[in-house]
Chains A and B, each alone.
Chain A
Amino acid sequence: MIRYTLLRLAQAVPVLFGISIVVFFLVRLIPGDPAVAALGSRATPELIARVRDQLGLDLPIWEQYLNFLSHALRGDFGISFFYQQDVWLVTVERLPITLLLMGYSIALAVLIAVPFAFLSAVRQGQVTDHALRVLFTIGLGMPVFWSGIILAYILGVKFQLLPITGQGAGGLDTLAHLTLPAITLAISISPILVRTLRSSIIEVLASDYVTTGRAMGLRSRYLNLSYILRNSLRPVVTVVTINLGYLIGGTVIVERIFSIAGVGSLLIGSIATRDYAVIQLSTLIFALLVLVTNLVGDLLYSLLDPRMALNK
């Protein structure tokens, strides 16, 4: 177990380096002088010189990267041009609401996916199964920004059931404000969950211990909950971690649509204000989130199922 943990950590190091290189070079993609681009209409020769100096743009490229890396390791990503504040503070301050939204969406997605996957598996190959498959393919085909707008219109405006903008004043109010965005996200990720859960349940249904349980005359509710559901829920963690990048993409869109002050809406908002350092850091944070979650997911899984560590 310790060996496996160390191995996984060692595997993550080169990826971490790679991520830092990509994030560093992102800013190099700006056509022309990045200093001019960042200053926009405010650019004067003196300001440009100052920003060039501040960004270290006159140094050789590898030195610039090492500078970036040593600053990044200390949490120093420069000053946001738009907020006139430390980029790290501006961005990290918005992370909790983003994480809350993601957690909420995953919980709702599981709540939606489990009963439908169960129904689909029990009625395997029947009309219900096919109808559900079509329904979830449609769910997967709906672009998040569109389903978000439609849901906001129906549930928020027509029926006035849920708030449609902002993140509320904390506590239950925040939860209420995050409900519509979370439903939107849950609709987009539950089809992926249903697909995996359905085949997992079908596999369990055909297993010997379920047949034995049935032969022993166990009540079907007990059989369903304690034998079938418990054993088929195992892949959920894996599916969620594997599709975390997809979920993050959806979170970015939904935060923007519902005006939630998270890292995602910060990323989109910073494009118009040309706040490149903020774009850089929010991209980095999302990549780190994927990396860390996958690592933790793998380790958790090997803790639950020691065979995993042996296989790798």
Chain B
Amino acid sequence: MSDVTLPPLRNRGPAWLYEGNWSLRIGLVSFLIILLAAIFAPLVTSYDPIAIDLAKALQPPSLVHWMGTDHLGRDVFTRVVFAARVDLQIGAIGVALPLIIGTIVGLIAGYYGGWVDAVIGRIVDVIIAFPFLVLVIAIVAMLGPGLINLYIALTVVSWVLYTRIIRAETIALKKREYVLAARNLGFGHLRIMFGHILPNAIAPALVFAMSDFALDVQVGATLSFFGLGAQPPTPEWGLMIAETRSMMLTAPWVVVGPGLAIVVVSLVVSLIGDGLADKVRRLDG
């Protein structure tokens, strides 16, 4: 579509809402703040995330306890901040491992084609046929609860998504002149795949990685909520909600903080994703 067909510019609202660079900037800065808060959690808050103090149980939000206290007298805000360590780790590992594996497999499938591609393609089709969450839950149910098994399940289920993206890009790129030139110069397959094709194929996978990060954080929290992920007393957003759910009638604030944290992380990551997508579009266009 050319720019000519766009409707005339009307009141488009404040600029930061639609300028891709700004959504990237705001997203990255917010993410950095959350990341630093998680890493330096003991400096952000003076309370202990695990020590029990029943005398202070279920206090409503106040200036001393911003998000109130839970049934064991622990400061909810403190636990939300410490939980970011676990939840961001779930997102990071849940994206990094599938991204690396999926990219390598996708490059191989797209570059070599033929029966290699056919076999990989069938495996991808099969894993994609399963509902994401159902397969992750089934795998963790068999392996046993815990974060390590969650990472294994997330990797097994989501590498195929990256493979599909990278494979399609590779097939398109391998006919480009610079790849043909590299081949005529006698470069090895590995050098062409990783040195010439990969840098040009990775952008859409990185954009997808952002929404995948949010999805992984949600799936991690969901599994922990069902008792399959992080185990008590580890502060983790989904687990915190599960532990305090029964107290909700008398103390609704106990489940609000951890849920909001998940929403905020998803929002921030999707801002980065939108910004990246916009950047990629501009580079291509």
Contacts and interface: CB of A to CB of B under 8 A. Distances in A.
Interface of A: 14-15, 18-19, 21-22, 26-27, 29-31, 124-127, 130, 137-138, 140-147, 149-150, 153, 157, 206, 244-246, 248-250, 252-253, 256, 267-268, 270-272, 276, 279-280, 282-283, 286-287, 290-291
Chain B, interface residues (CB within 8 Å), range = 35 or more
Given A141-B270, A143-B238, A126 B135 contact: no
A245 B128 CA distance: 9
Contacts of A27: 142
A291 B129 CA distance: 6
6 contacts: A18-B123, A206-B5, A245-B131, A248-B134, A252-B134, A283-B135
Contacts, number: 154
Contacts of A248: 131, 133-134
A126 B221 CA distance: 35
Given A30-B142, A130-B13, A290 B270 contact: no
Given A142-B262, A150-B255, A271-B228, A29 B143 contact: yes
Given A26-B139, A27-B142, A141 B134 contact: no
B48 interface: no
Contact of B10 (A126, A144, A270, A276): A126
B249 interface: yes
Given A26-B139, A137-B267, A126 B134 contact: no
Contact of A256 (B226, B248, B249, B255): B226
A235 to B, nearest CB: 17
B138 to A, nearest CB: 4
Interface of B: 5, 7, 9-13, 17-18, 122-123, 125-127, 129-135, 137-139, 141-144, 214, 218, 221-222, 225-228, 238, 241, 245, 248-249, 252, 255-256, 258-259, 262-267, 270
A182 B190 CA distance: 50
Interface residues of chain B: helix, strand, loop or mixed (majority): helix
A287 B131 contact: yes
Contacts of A29: 139, 142-143
A140 B130 contact: no
Nearest to B5: A206
